[in-house]
Amino acid sequence: MHNYVKPKVFFSRCLGFESCRYNGNIIIEQAVENMKPFVDAATVCPEVEIGLGVPRPPIRLINAAGRLRLVQPETGVDVTETMQQFAAGFIESADEVDGFILKYASPSCGPREVKAYSSTKRGASFIKASGIFGGAIRNCFGYRAVEDEGRLRNFDIRHHFLAKLFALARFRSVKASGKMKDLVQFHTEQKFLLMAYNQKELRELGRTVANPEKHRFIDLATTYEQHLHLALARPPRRASAINVLMHALGYFSDRLTSREKAFFLEALQQYRNRHVPLSVPTSLMRSWIIRFEDPYLLSQTYFEPYPQALVEVLDSGKGRLL
């Protein structure tokens, strides 16, 4: 239904690109493999970039009196400042990136849920934190699509990540065009998506596009981008998705049979009860949009926010892979 702008995504290099783990291994994750044909991929391995080599003694995140340190227990070498300097230089050159997929639980790359130990000793207690590089990415690019490959196994998290990633890529293209008509079209095509995510920000974005004060395009696009980031910051609530689909149903409910409507409402109830994924009622709606050829609904990215090839057929209704 849509032409997709290829998102620019940075991956941890060990995620199916190169054997650069501390033990010389490579990690194959199906969600990442599925994504590769649909994105412009670049890779980074911070540990290799700062000269730790492959293979290498593993590093550990240490919580030293509330300060996170990156240490090689085997050698006693502390690489915290070196990693921080690398992260700062990397961030300066990564402005046009739409998203990141970083290594889960990595003391360098992990964006969250990384064990920060109380010492280098075995069995030491730990808290959860962000890796040194991954934390820097989240601090600077948290408004972009940032995830680790472990969390992408969850359907709801992956759906939010992909919807956000492709929306940001489309907006990047609009911003580069410098054309007001492209911004208006973008906003029109995202209305149902934004309705599902954040209705308050949808209204603010609508006022921005209306541009009653006749701002220059670059100023308008900057303001729009700020509110777009706020709108996409959190995944949509289940009730919001149901509201959007019911809103769409109103466009042609009088052309459906009573049995078709009952079947659709039952699918919505099953989704509400977490028995089926969102793709079930959404696919029903898409079939009617195509059948009745409603031009407005056909333009809405909500019904296909990213390529269908990225939808896992094994997704369960509870947000986990079966």
**Whether the Cβ atoms of residue 174 and residue 186 lie closer than 8 Å to each other:** yes
Handedness of CA 209, 215, 218, 219 (dihedral sign): negative
Same-domain status, 112 and 200: no
- Residues β-bridged to residue 315: 321
Same-domain status, 73 and 85: yes
Same-domain status, 118 and 159: no
Give the global pTM.
0.93
Same-domain status, 54 and 124: yes
Indicate whether 163 belongs to any domain. yes
Same-domain status, 62 and 108: yes
The pLDDT value recorded for residue 213 is 94
The pLDDT value recorded for residue 190 is 97
Same-domain status, 142 and 169: no
**What range does the domain containing 266 cover?**
238-310
Same-domain status, 25 and 82: yes
Buried/exposed 198-234: b ≥16 CB within 10 Å, e otherwise? beebbebbeebbebeeeeebeebbebbbebbbbbbee
Indicate whether 318 belongs to any domain. no
The pLDDT value recorded for residue 1 is 55
The pLDDT value recorded for residue 42 is 97
Buried/exposed 286-297: b ≥16 CB within 10 Å, e otherwise? bebbeeeeeeeb
Boundary (domain end) residue, out of 112, 128, 152: 152
Indicate whether 315 belongs to any domain. no
φ and ψ at 42, to 5 degrees? Answer: -130, 160
Tokens 């412009």, residue located:
40
Same-domain status, 187 and 137: no
The pLDDT value recorded for residue 34 is 95
Query: How high is the mean pLDDT in each 10-residue block of the chain (322 residues)?
Result: 89 98 96 96 98 96 93 95 98 92 98 95 93 97 96 92 98 97 97 97 97 95 97 95 97 95 97 91 95 95 94 51 35
Same-domain status, 78 and 105: yes
Boundary (domain end) residue, out of 198, 213, 231: 231
CB atoms within 10 A of CB 68: 18
Same-domain status, 46 and 124: yes
The set of residues, in sequence order, having a beta carbon less than 8 Å from that of 228 and lying 6+ positions away, is 167, 168, 171, 201, 205
φ and ψ at 99, to 5 degrees? Answer: -165, 170
Count how many domains the chain has: 3
Alpha-carbon distance of 110 to 133, in angstroms, equals: 8
Planar angle of CA 90, 93, 94, nearest 5 degrees: 85
Indicate whether 24 belongs to any domain. yes
Same-domain status, 130 and 163: no
